[in-house]
Amino acid sequence: KVPGQVNTSTSGDIYISDPLNHVIFKANPSAKADPIVFAGKMGQRGISDGDRTQTALFGGPIGVAIDNRAQGGVYIADTLNNTIRKIGFNNQVNTALGNGTFGTMTSDITPFSQVVFRNPQGVAIAANGILYIADTNNHAIYAADFVKEEVRLIAGSPGQIGKADGKGRQALFSRPVSISVNPAKSSFFASATNDVVILVADTGNNVIRSVSLNGEVKTIGKIARTSANSRKFSPTLQAADEFTFDSPQSVSLDNLGNIYVLDKSGVKVITNSPTQTTRQMVSLAQANTFSQASSVVVQGTDVFVLDNGVTTEDDSLKMVSVGAPQINNLSQESDRLEGGSEIIVKGKNFAPESVIVLGDKVVTSTQIISATELRFRVPAQVAPGNRTLSIQTRGGVTQRVFNFPAKPLSEIRDSEITTIAGGVPFLGDSGQATSAAMHPIGVAVDSSGNIFVVDSTNHRIRRIDTTGVITTVAGSGTAGFSGDGALALSASLNTPEAIALDKAGNLFIADSLNSRIRLVDANTGIITSVAGNGKYAFSGDGALATDASLNQPSGLAIDNKGNIFIADTENHRVRFVEASTGNISTLVGDGVAAFSGDGDLATKARLSNPKGLALDSSDNLLF
């Protein structure tokens, strides 16, 4: 029972700060063991480095951030000591930033040796190792670069309290106490300037603020979107629509862009559903679930809440888990091609961010009635048949058949056409894979053992989970090109021939007859093109891969750095897309269909319709 903060590591360990007893606890729910003192000494306030349990002392530690890299560790906002401390994986504690002096930094860039704080409470770390700090009583947000050994002012006017949106020092805060880094990747090669990097609980102003890559600070509100199908987080809003809270103490962000805010009234979720043009705010759990919550953090599909008001310490850390949605019943299972009927879906685990895709259309009229009921109006379809109805949340996806019969001959008017036989088939999604219909020509396996299948002539990518249940993850079943920037479930593919997965679980597709390489983001389910402009040709070496021409690519491989290798089949080449720049080049082949070149430079060799690619453990390429 502590009033501190909580955070989780990728291995499942949970770290809890206890500012009253000046210690950091560690727990692992899977081990079913009581939390242990991980660093510091119970009830002893001080400031000393060294062994984390033998000599290290803290003073009112609050913020916790975890750097999961090999050289990383656990960063602590040691609030009363005006420092940032690091607990290394070697069990040693050192003072990373600050000398214990209560002070204010006046420069935009400050070397590590001159860093001072005023009771910092919030810390968060990005995947690249940049540490963000909420310097609470200086009302400012900083970023620490451990390579350059400098701290840079990101936003706020140090020492000045207020409320104002704007860039850098133009923005004003009032006692920011918690900070969270956006874990989602909005684009593959680079981020747009308005992509949100961090979220800040601006406690004194009772709002949540976003800070973008271009330094722009915005107050979070009912945000208008540029596209109803996009999950991209844009901080644009009208000030009158801002969400207000009762002294927000903690903020966290999941991989889909939903924002979790803890204030005196409990835990709220600001939703990020792509089917809604504005954000909504709902409660995380039913009333009275939490007695006196003090911190919230999201890890995958689990939300951890530190609750101080419980009677026993065993109940102080609560987990709210989002299960996969399930469809039990539909009010009707078919509609006219024109659509328009209201469908009532009964089931379970429907969430505020639930997304419905029917055929090749993202439903924009969804009403989430409760966790067990939602409603939507059927969007018009272009082809009859048994289309796939998908409901997706961050807990998973469920799918079911929905029929669109062709218009009968008795209703056909002059110049109209109808289908009298055939139609889009339903292929057994959400059932056992052994009963599904498919035309598989390629597979890939992720780190959890799920199998991804290229269902080529059905123009889909399918996923078989470890229980044997199959679902579609990309492709509506209609051959064509559409859907970039929207959910992959509603996109059109055209005879995909190969797939590959990177270390983060992102799915790459050789969309052969579209002459493109497409990417499905593992966090958001959004599909984009990362190579190819759709023309059957050869061009573009030395420039962005999205501007280049491919010719029916049918092989893919991804190395440990995220670089893409493409079998550009009808161009008789293997091409290479560099992850850091997005530029494409020819790696093997001169474009002439033949066999030659062994023992010479690969670019002088001749290939004939290369297809399969593979990389060994040293990233040597085989084809």
- CATH 2.120.10.30 residue ranges for the chain: 62-223+235-320, 475-622
Query: Who contacts 557 (Cβ-Cβ below 8 Å, separation ≥6)?
Result: 500, 564, 565, 613, 614, 615, 621
176 touches 152 (CB < 8 A): no
Enumerate the CATH 2.60.40.10 domain ranges in the chain, comma separated.
326-404
CA distance 173 to 189: 32
- How far is residue 14's CA from residue 251's CA, in Å, rounded to a whole number? 17
* Domain covering 62-223+235-320: architecture: 6 Propeller (2.120)
Counting as low any pLDDT under 70, the low residues of the chain are 1-3, 29-33, 183-196, 223-240, 273-278, 285-292, 300-301, 308-317, 319, 321, 418-424
| Whole-number pLDDT of residue 61 | 95
The reported pLDDT for the residue numbered 224 is 47
Position 33 scores a pLDDT of 62
143-160: pLDDT as tens digits: 999 999 999 999 999 999
- Distance separating alpha carbons of residues 133 and 80, to the nearest angstrom: 15
What's the pLDDT at 313?
Answer: 58
- Amino acid 301: pLDDT: 65
* Four-point Cα dihedral 599, 603, 608, 610, nearest 10: 100
DSSP string, 384-451: -EEEEEEEEETTEEEEEEEEEPPPPGGGPPTT----SS--BPP--TTSBGGG----EEEEEE-TTS-E
> For the domain 475-622, what is the CATH code?
2.120.10.30
Strand-strand pairing, 355-358 and 302-307: unpaired
User: What is the rounded distance in angstroms from the CA atom of residue 127 to the CA atom of residue 67?
Assistant: 8
Q: Exposed, middle or buried by CB within 10 Å (0-12, 13-18, 19+), for 618?
A: exposed
What architecture does CATH give domain 326-404? Answer: Sandwich (2.60)
What is the longest distance spanned by two Cα atoms in the chain? 89
pLDDT at 171: 95
Q: Which residues pair with 457 in a beta bridge?
A: none
pLDDT of residue 230: 43
The residues facing 14 across adjacent strands are: 8, 27
